[in-house]
């Protein structure tokens, strides 16, 4: 077993409650000298809001170059006698905020014979120790995953270099402003010495000689220098404020652009509140950049210049001042890991709190109808209290560091004051020089203390940067510059032996095949949860099949770009998204602002006009967030209009009449009948009238499609 310092250095802390499994895997990658992004591990393992399955960890470990094997032990004694390398354990804990039982993963590094305890890497708490009994109490399943590194485990030492390149790329446009701000900081630091220098001249030369002329001249010059310093401080603040605005705009724009072009599977496993929290992380990064190019530069320059001037007055005091500074370096080293862990805990709690707010408010209907307001109010209070407790703990660490720095500074300042006084008594130093030295020392120690506390700011930015970098380095499904090109319509679609299963889960679709040509309408029926909606998402290229092929017009669909492929699709999903805007904007989207009359003409031509014109403000009716002003049936009509407005060559419908009355359902059936000659239509339904309309009906059973020539023998689920 490697030293505990190595374990602490390589342990990866979880960013969310669902990340414990992938964090353990990332820790073992770092333990063996490799590295992988958490987002990549989430994708490979199928991590979702509930966490990661042991099967997902097993598959991911093997894919990354480990030789993994799942086992079940008889007791904790097996970890002492039979295990010689770190393993991942599946344990059960009690949530401190909700009291619920939670499944959790930890890394067991082995048995420490000297302490008589197990060394455990907990992604939520850090490296801790467990007694035999404590581990037996939480490790109830006795399930573990062994991982042995192979030569396929690639080293990724260039990750830090890539991170640095990304950040420098963002800052490249700000170099002129930051350089000017730094130059003004140098000027400010230099002008700050004017008081110390003037006080020395005043006490040693001007006042003893009663030189009124030099006094007035010196006072005037000092006033000019102090005014110049005030002006440089203002100008520097103005430049940093401007840089802050431009940098935040650029960073958020790039981050949000990246989010929009990430695969849909990424969003399946992320909570909305966590994404919002990552966007808010940009402010933390910017604050640190401003601080590093501002306060840190000024304090560092002030420290160097003041120390240099102290040497000109007294070499012993200069050396004494320099020898005191490593003590502050020791202070930084002492609290580095503690601060990092506290920052991680704060950001995880913040993301959890944001997600809880969003999730609760989106489910307000369910909360009210079940009279669960007291329960959710208490739950929200506990989640928020946990977040505030993490902030409180971090604040205490900051206060502790500040207290130690202040006490250390007071002791050192008192010692240097005594030394300066002793030199004056020995006629080695003049009184004016002593006052100048004390003024300079008074500038040095606050500057050194501020530099020591810089660690808090840098750690916060570092954690925020790592969290954001996890997202922006994800593989995009298409480039932001990629736009749909004019492509031929999809006249035929053939799916051959398609297999698909979510990571960490058995196959959902197994050797599935069917074909569809222009002018045909086919339906797929089957029990809930069998993969019908997933099939439509695969056809939208939201997910990639594990095997099999999809052909369009006799060509593999991979020959089409993602943007070109989707430009030929019209989709009505089961869960319809309605944006907070007007009916017209939800149908035409971008076209609403470019050619609104075309959207209205389309609705009139296809027969949607009577339904939308009956709304209070016709096409300009504000729908509200999540379509609260529309019924479920009206939302389905709007989604169908939006899909047909694109003039697709392939129409994919998932329960398109589920919320419609008989009259509106008849209208939809007639619309599908009239447009079937212009496109191929694939419908998922549980209704017999849609199955009657189809050319072929398939039933999805055990991951495969079985075709029925008619619906008389078919049970429509």
Report pLDDT digits (tens) over 304-321: 777 787 888 788 888 887
Specify which residues 516 forms β-bridges with: 493
Q: What is the mean pLDDT of residues 403-423?
A: 81
Judged against a pLDDT cut of 80, whether residue 270 lies above it is answered with no
Q: How far apart are CA 156 and CA 137, in angstroms?
A: 37
Strands 555-556 and 569-572: unpaired
pLDDT at residue number 516: 93
Is the distance from CB of 20 to CB of 95 less than 8 angstroms?
no
pLDDT at residue number 713: 45
Q: What percent of the chain clears pLDDT 70, i.e. is strictly above it? A: 93
Judged against a pLDDT cut of 60, whether residue 158 lies above it is answered with no
Is the model more confident about 243 or about 144? 144
Specify which residues 680 forms β-bridges with: 650
pLDDT band at 269 (very low <50, low <70, confident <90, very high): low
Strands 509-517 and 87-94: unpaired
Q: What is the mean pLDDT of residues 221-227?
A: 85
pLDDT at residue number 687: 78
Q: How far apart are CA 438 and CA 504, in angstroms?
A: 67
Q: Is 131 helix (H, G, I), strand (E, B) or coil?
A: coil
State the average pLDDT for the chain.
Answer: 82
Q: How far apart are CA 604 and CA 584, in angstroms?
A: 13
Where are the alpha helices (H) located in 261-314, listed in sequence order? 264-268, 272-291, 297-313
Is the distance from CB of 474 to CB of 550 less than 8 angstroms?
no
pTM recorded for the entire structure: 0.68
pLDDT at residue number 712: 45
Strands 117-122 and 101-112: antiparallel
Q: How far apart are CA 127 and CA 123, in angstroms?
A: 8
Judged against a pLDDT cut of 50, whether residue 446 lies above it is answered with yes
54-64 and 38-45 are packed helices; what angle lies between their axes, rounded to 10 degrees? 120
Is the distance from CB of 387 to CB of 301 less than 8 angstroms?
no
Q: How far apart are CA 239 and CA 182, in angstroms?
A: 10
Q: What is the mean pLDDT of residues 392-406?
A: 84
Is the distance from CB of 232 to CB of 187 less than 8 angstroms?
yes
Q: What percent of the chain clears pLDDT 90, i.e. is strictly above it? A: 17
Q: Residues, the chain, total?
A: 717
pLDDT in tens, 471-488: 777 778 777 666 666 668
Judged against a pLDDT cut of 80, whether residue 340 lies above it is answered with no
Q: How far apart are CA 472 and CA 251, in angstroms?
A: 10
Q: What is the mean pLDDT of residues 25-52?
A: 83
pLDDT at residue number 411: 83
pLDDT at residue number 253: 81
H-helix or E-strand spanning residue 548: strand 547-552
- Report the chain's C-alpha Rg in angstroms: 34
Q: Is 706 helix (H, G, I), strand (E, B) or coil?
A: strand
Q: What is the mean pLDDT of residues 686-715?
A: 75
Judged against a pLDDT cut of 90, whether residue 426 lies above it is answered with no
Output helix, strand, coil percentages for the chain, rounded to the nearest 5.
60, 15, 25
Is the distance from CB of 113 to CB of 30 less than 8 angstroms?
no
Judged against a pLDDT cut of 80, whether residue 373 lies above it is answered with yes
Tell which residue, 253, 259, 251, has the closest CA to residue 285. 251
pLDDT in tens, 162-178: 777 777 777 787 788 87
Judged against a pLDDT cut of 60, whether residue 70 lies above it is answered with yes
pLDDT band at 650 (very low <50, low <70, confident <90, very high): very high
Tell which residue, 397, 316, 383, 315, has the closest CA to residue 348. 383
Q: What is the mean pLDDT of residues 33-42?
A: 80
pLDDT at residue number 485: 67
Is the distance from CB of 498 to CB of 543 less than 8 angstroms?
no
Judged against a pLDDT cut of 50, whether residue 498 lies above it is answered with yes
Is the distance from CB of 239 to CB of 187 less than 8 angstroms?
no
pLDDT band at 499 (very low <50, low <70, confident <90, very high): very high
What's the distance, CA 565 to chain centroid?
29
How far is the CA of 404 from the CAs of 327, 426, 717, in angstroms? 11, 33, 71
Is the model more confident about 26 or about 339? 26
What's the distance, CA 403 to chain centroid?
33
pLDDT in tens, 602-646: 999 999 999 988 888 888 888 876 666 788 888 899 999 999 998
pLDDT at residue number 627: 67
Instruction: Give me the domains of the chain, ranges plus CATH numbers.
Output: 3-154 (3.90.70.10), 157-337+429-473 (1.20.1560.10), 492-578+630-708 (3.40.50.300)
Q: How far apart are CA 235 and CA 229, in angstroms?
A: 10
Q: How far apart are CA 131 and CA 214, in angstroms?
A: 77
Q: How far apart are CA 590 and CA 379, in angstroms?
A: 41
Is the distance from CB of 349 to CB of 390 less than 8 angstroms?
yes
Q: How far apart are CA 532 and CA 703, in angstroms?
A: 9
Q: 598: how many CB neighbours lie within 10 A of its CB?
A: 13
pLDDT in tens, 271-315: 777 777 777 777 777 777 777 766 777 777 777 777 787 888 788
């Amino acid at each position: 077993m490697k030293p505990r310092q190595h374990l602490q250095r390589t342990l990866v802390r979880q960013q969310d409650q669902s990340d414990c499994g992938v964090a353990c895997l990332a820790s073992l990658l770092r333990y063996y000298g490799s590295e992988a992004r958490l987002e990549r591990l989430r994708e490979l393992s199928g991590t979702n809001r509930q966490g990661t399955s042991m099967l997902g960890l097993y598959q991911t470990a093997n894919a990354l170059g480990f030789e993994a094997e799942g086992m079940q032990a008889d007791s904790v004694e097996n970890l002492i006698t039979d295990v010689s390398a770190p393993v991942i354990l599946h344990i059960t804990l009690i949530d401190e905020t909700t009291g619920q039982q939670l499944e959790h993963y930890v890394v067991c590094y082995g048995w420490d014979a000297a302490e008589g305890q197990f060394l455990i890497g907990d992604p939520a708490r850090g490296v801790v120790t467990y007694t035999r009994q404590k581990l037996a109490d939480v490790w109830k399943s006795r399930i573990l995953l062994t991982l042995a590194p192979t030569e396929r485990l690639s080293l990724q030492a260039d990750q830090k270099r890539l991170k640095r390149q990304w950040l420098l790329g963002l800052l490249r446009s700000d170099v002129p402003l930051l350089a000017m701000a730094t130059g003004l900081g140098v000027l400010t630091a230099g002008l700050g010495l004017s008081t110390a220098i003037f006080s020395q001249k005043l006490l040693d030369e001007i006042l003893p000689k009663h030189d009124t002329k030099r006094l007035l001249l010196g006072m005037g010059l000092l006033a000019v220098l102090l005014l110049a310093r005030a002006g440089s401080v203002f100008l520097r603040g103005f430049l940093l404020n401007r840089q802050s605005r431009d940098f935040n705009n650029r960073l958020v724009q790039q981050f949000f652009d990246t989010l929009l072009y990430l695969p849909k599977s990424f969003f399946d496993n992320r909570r909305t509140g966590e994404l919002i929290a990552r966007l808010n992380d940009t402010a933390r990064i910017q604050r640190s950049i401003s601080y590093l190019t501002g306060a840190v530069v000024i304090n560092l320059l002030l420290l160097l210049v003041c120390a240099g001037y102290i040497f000109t007055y007294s070499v012993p005091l200069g050396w004494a001042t320099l020898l005191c500074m490593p003590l502050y370096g020791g202070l930084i080293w002492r609290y580095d890991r503690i601060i990092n862990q506290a920052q991680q805990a704060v950001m995880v709690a913040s993301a959890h709190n944001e997600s809880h707010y969003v999730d609760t408010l989106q489910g307000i209907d369910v909360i009210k109808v079940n009279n669960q307001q007291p329960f959710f109010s208490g739950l929200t209070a506990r989640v928020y209290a946990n977040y505030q407790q993490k902030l409180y703990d971090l604040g205490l660490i900051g206060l502790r560091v500040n207290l130690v720095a202040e006490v250390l500074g007071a002791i050192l300042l008192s010692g240097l004051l005594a030394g300066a006084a002793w030199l004056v008594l020995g006629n080695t130093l003049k009184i004016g020089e002593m006052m100048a030295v004390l003024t300079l020392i008074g500038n040095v120690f606050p500057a050194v203390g501020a530099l020591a506390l810089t660690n808090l700011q840098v750690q916060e930015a570092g954690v925020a940067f790592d969290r954001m970098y996890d997202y922006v380095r994800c593989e995009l499904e298409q480039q932001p510059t990629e736009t749909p090109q004019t492509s031929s319509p999809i006249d035929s679609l053939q799916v051959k032996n398609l297999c698909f299963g979510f990571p960490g889960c058995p196959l959902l679709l197994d050797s599935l095949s069917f074909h569809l040509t222009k002018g045909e309408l086919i339906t797929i029926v089957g029990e809930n949860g069998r993969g019908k909606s997933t099939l439509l998402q695969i056809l939208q290229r939201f997910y990639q099949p594990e095997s099999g092929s999809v052909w369009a017009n006799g060509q593999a669909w991979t020959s089409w770009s993602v943007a070109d492929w989707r430009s030929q699709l019209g989709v009505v999903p089961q869960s319809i998204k309605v944006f907070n805007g007007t009916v017209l904007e939800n149908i035409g989207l971008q076209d609403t602002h470019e050619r609104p009359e075309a959207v209205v003409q389309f609705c009139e031509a296809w027969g949607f006009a009577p339904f939308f014109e009956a709304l209070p403000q016709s096409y300009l009716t504000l729908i509200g967030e999540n379509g609260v002003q529309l019924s479920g049936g009206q939302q389905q009509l709007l989604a169908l209009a939006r899909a047909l407005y694109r003039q697709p060559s392939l129409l994919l419908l998932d329960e398109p009449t589920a919320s419609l009355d008989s009259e509106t359902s008849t209208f939809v059936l007639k619309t599908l009948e009239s447009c079937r000659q212009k496109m191929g239509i694939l419908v998922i339904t549980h209704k017999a009238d849609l199955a009657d309309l189809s050319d072929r009906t398939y039933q999805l059973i055990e991951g495969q499609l079985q075709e029925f020539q008619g619906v008389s023998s078919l049970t429509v689920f």
